[in-house]
Structure 1
Amino acid sequence: MVKKRLLAELDPALILGEGDPDFGDAEGGLHTRLRLTRSKREFNPHILRGEVLTLLKVNSESLLSNGCAVSEAAWKGGVVEDFEQLETDGLMQSFSAPVSVVLQPLEDLLKPVDLRPPCKRARYTVEPVLSAAERKKLKDRHRARDKRAKARAEVQKSLQTNLKSVALRKAAETKAAAVECSFAGPDATAWTGSRAAVPYPKVYSVQDVLALSGLKYIEWDGSLSRVYRSEDGLHWAALLGYVGERSEWLANMQVVDQLLLKAQQELHFPKLDHPPRRGVYDSLSIGCSHGQGQLHPMNFAASKRNAPILQALMDAPEVNRIARFIDHGVEVYFPKIHRLLTNLMEILLGMGGLHLKRPFKRCCYAASQLNFSRASTDPHLDFMNAFFLCCGIWNGGRFNYKAGGQLIMWNLGIVVEFPPGAGILVPSASVTHANIPIGPEERRHSITFFTAAGILRWYFNGFMNDNEFLTRASGLQKKNWAQYRTDLWKFGLDMLRSDEL
């Protein structure tokens, strides 16, 4: 049984995710020492190691086919969403829709992603203070480093991937362990996106979760990554462990914590005219989206006061490291989704007249949401996202992850501990999720990464919205358009299935 304790009684190391002797392993420590690399740094735990692939009993076909149909009904029925304003100044006139009407299947976006150029290495320079033997040793070390980098680039080029060979090898060595799950997929009402329609209760403590039948509580300290997949081979969730040396990664997270705190104090948050369905906390979106009747994708609007503050956050190296961390996780565990989103963003950013801004350069998602200090969500579905795309979630701050902040994934029947600095990938439009609230004196930030379904629809329609396409399309094009959307759940099944793992 987990004891409730006030923040004042907690050890600072626990709040920052360093561990607690009350929650240790058989040897008295919470974290396992990781293998060291040649440079004496801990091996990147973000890569799969050991028995980290878990099977869940989920009716994937029912989950996605129902989800596709009900998501369509949600769009037509006008389900209330917490919309944020999109930029409109001059953009409606600067972009012109294509003259011809051509459907663009999403399969066209699954081509291999262009390889990133190798990182530029600093050239070897002779230091006069070194002896001849030391200079030779340093020169040999640089030559060996360059040789390894060249060999790695050749392997990546032959495999058409930006992942290092060690990541691919560790992924291939993954073992599976079966876990019972009583959920076989939700009924149709769980997909409407309406807060009232979500058939799951709000929980207020770990004890509430343990009292619910059918939910499995999973302890996770963020040291190693895990993947949860169904028996039919679909990945439904990935837990992204800390990157690099643990102490260095957590130090980076403390910097992000302070950056978000400072930004929250300076930002202005608009007031909604209805209760937010995800929970009551300060949040703002950055990047681009499509919806609300717009003719094409647009950037999220930012006031003159907020714009420089948000830009400073997006430019911060520590925050960009989180974006790359999430992007890397998608590339490892959801490679097809990563290819689709990366190629889609390259097309959109290259189109004249749109002037779209991606929140982070080396991240495949079109948008991010910054959630400040009291980020704890009620049971909900992010139905505005494409139902088969995984959403990236990072959380940080100062809270006891054993007592609050855990992520509940109702359709998968699991409750996962979510320590500060870790990340989780989950199809947030098809899996109802929520957090256990944190203590009154604690704080929890989160950054979510997503791509709106409207952008994919706009691309599929040949760079126009549904109304314009249906007005201009021929009878045959309308028939093909309707059939493709009807079978879209099959495409979604394939997107969640990883052939690489």
Structure 2
Amino acid sequence: MAREDSGVYDEEEFEVEETTEPASTDLPTPSPTLAQPAAGLTGLAKKNDNKRRRDRAKPAATTAASLNSVTPPTPTPQVLEKAAQSLPISVSFAGDNFRATQQRWTGLAKPLEHPLLAHAHDAEFLKTRMQFADWQGEQTHVILDRKQHIVGVLVAPPQPGQDWNAVVAAATAAMREARAKMTFPAAACQHRRASGDGFPAEGFGFAFGGGRRVVGNIKSSSARNAAAMEELLADPNVARMATYPIPHFQSLCYNIFADYHKTKQTLLQKNPRLHHTFARSPFTAATANLGPVSVSPPHTDFANKADGMCLIGALGCFDPDQGGHLVLWDYDLISAVVTHSNTPIQAGEEHFSLIQYSAGGLFRWVANGFQTDLSWRASATAKDIANREEEHKARCAAALKKFTRWKDVKVKNFSGKARLDVWHTGEVEDFSDYTEDESEEERTPAKKARLDGPWV
């Protein structure tokens, strides 16, 4: 039996703590708190202020309930409208070529070979040989494969300008302070995702792997580091940086978002002792790359869900024209990354990042009825095993259908339901650019494109 079947992932940095599942499976729903009425208001002014506070509390209560429900929340009309205004970047990659293990839950450990790997740290060279997206963070862009599936998103900040710059600067300061509070042995700076002088990383949340037989919390390297990490994730500016891309994930990749949300909430309801990262995020874990210069060599996060996504948030003070680029080797694409920080660039630049993800083993654990493959096979019949093998063969085709097509986003058909289904439910009215021919059209990407933030 493969090591993956027993929950072991070679070379994975996270270690999982075993947690016992409580008898109760009820997950408490946070209650929204009403803002205090403004001092000195009387009469009609006080009455109107109270009404405004009650009106604001209603959507807050609805949001709190949806975040704790196993049923995935759907994007609002405003979010769908904004998603339809995204700009496309076509790449030569074909979604049919996504690589996965035999079980089809996680990716392959061996990175894709690329002829330019020897120049991985020469951004200027790569810009001339790969498709270059000169993204300035002013507008959201979607990355489309050859058949126009959305396989990545460059998410613009919600409010470009000085106010947002202040949020980013404060989140960067929080990362800097968290690093100062933590202690790491010298070896902690050298790992699979670090290059050059290296950098330490600290994780939080829950996962499945590291040789454990149950889902558990990611073990911190020390109690001191765990406290600093909890404080970091509780920082309102860090939380805002981490969660503002979620509506884009929800509207542009809804079926994948729904998988993540349902799996996270199912596991939390089964075991509330599992650590939360951000309430608004469907991801189960977060890793802070604490720099001061976080530079990664080409690598594959193979323990992640093979047909899933992760969120990469860039923070720090650096010149995005000179470094800090995002290189997507499978897509043959290099993109500039900006942080929108208003802190002036110093001689010693800083590169921090916050990664949100969910281990692929979590999805398999739930699909197995909350057990490993080994445990499932121990009680499975020959027919069960035969059916499972057929599921493995069909999983890649089913997974590809979960990636949203760009044509569906343009008509706000976020779930990708069949055209007639959507028409009869009256969810959209304009299908003028929604043609069957378009679904099989393959487009050749431009070599370079100048694009109008920090999240992917």
TM-score, reference length from structure 2: 0.72
- Higher RCO (C-alpha 8 Å, min separation 6): 2
Q: How much has 1:317 moved relative to structure 2?
A: 1.3
1:3 aligned partner? none
1:50 match? none
- CA 412–139 in structure 1, closer or farther in 2 if over 3 Å, else same: farther
Match of 1:454 among 361, 367, 370: 361
**How much has 1:177 moved relative to structure 2?**
5.6
Tell me by how many angstroms 1:494 deviates: 1.9
**C-alpha distance in 1 between matches for 2:265 and 2:326:** 32
Q: Please tell me the root mean square deviation across aligned C-alpha atoms, in Å.
A: 4.0
Q: What is the DSSP-based 3-state SS (H/G/I as helix, E as strand, rest coil) of the residue aligned with 1:496?
A: coil
Distance 1:189 1:473, change over 3 A: closer
1:281 aligned onto 2:211? no
1:240 maps to 2:155: yes
SS of 1:82's partner is: coil
How far the C-alpha of 1:481 sits from its partner, in A, is 1.8
In the alignment of these two chains, the number of paired residues is 383
In structure 1, the gaps of 5 or more residues are: 1-71, 98-113, 423-437
Deviation at 1:485, TM superposition (A): 2.0
In structure 2, which of residues 260, 267, 291 is the aligned counterpart of residue 348 of structure 1? 267
Letter in 2 for 1:288: F
Contact (CA 8 Å) 1:269, 1:284: kept in 2 or not?
no
The answer to whether 1:365 aligns with 2:283 is yes
Q: Is 1:229 matched with 2:144?
A: yes
Cα offsets for 1:171-224 (capped at 9, x unmatched):
34x376674x44557696996323696665142233211232xx1111122121
Q: 1:319 aligns with which of 235, 238, 244?
A: 238
Could you tell me whether the CA contact under 8 Å between 1:152 and 1:164 is conserved in 2? Answer: no
Distance (whole Å) between structure 2 residues aligned to residue 411 and residue 122 of structure 1:
48
Q: Give the structure 2 partner of residue 467 of structure 1.
A: 374
The counterpart of 2:40, out of the listed 127, 138, 162, is 127
1:198–1:379: 8 Å Cα contact kept in structure 2?
no
Structure 1 residues 97-176: aligned runs within 5 Å: 122=35, 127=40, 161=73, 163-172=75-84, 174=85
- The offset of 1:316, in angstroms, is 1.3
Q: Deviations over 1:289-338 (max 9, x none)?
A: 10123111111112222222112112211121122223233212211122
The Cα offsets for residues 225-269 of structure 1, whole Å up to 9 and x where unpaired, read as 111223434211111111235211211111111111111122123
SS state at 1:482 partner: helix
Q: Deviations over 1:423-444 (max 9, x none)?
A: xxxxxxxxxxxxxxx9982111
Is the Cα contact below 8 Å between 1:184 and 1:411 reproduced in 2?
no
Cα pair distance change 1:143/1:420, threshold 3 Å: same
- How far the C-alpha of 1:413 sits from its partner, in A, is 2.4
Q: CA deviation at 1:139?
A: 6.4
Change (3 A) 1:217 1:462: same
Distance (whole Å) between structure 1 residues aligned to residue 10 and residue 347 of structure 2: 29
The two structures have a TM-score, normalised by structure 1, of 0.66
Q: Give deviations 1:434-469, integer Å, cap 9, x for gaps.
A: xxxx99821110000000011111111110011111
Aligned with 1:287: secondary structure? strand
Instruction: Answer with 413-422 or 359-368: which moved more.
Output: 413-422
1:480 aligns with 2:387: yes
Contact 1:283 1:372 in 2 (8 A): yes
Contact preservation (8 Å) 2:311, 2:355? yes
Q: Post-superposition shift, 1:169?
A: 2.5
Tell me, in whole angstroms, the C-alpha distance in 1 between the residues paired with 2:386 and 2:308.
Answer: 25
Distance in 2 separating the partners of 1:242 and 1:188: 31
Between the aligned partners of 1:204 and 1:385, the Cα distance in structure 2 is 25
Pairing of 1:385-424 with structure 2 (within 5 A): 385-420=304-339
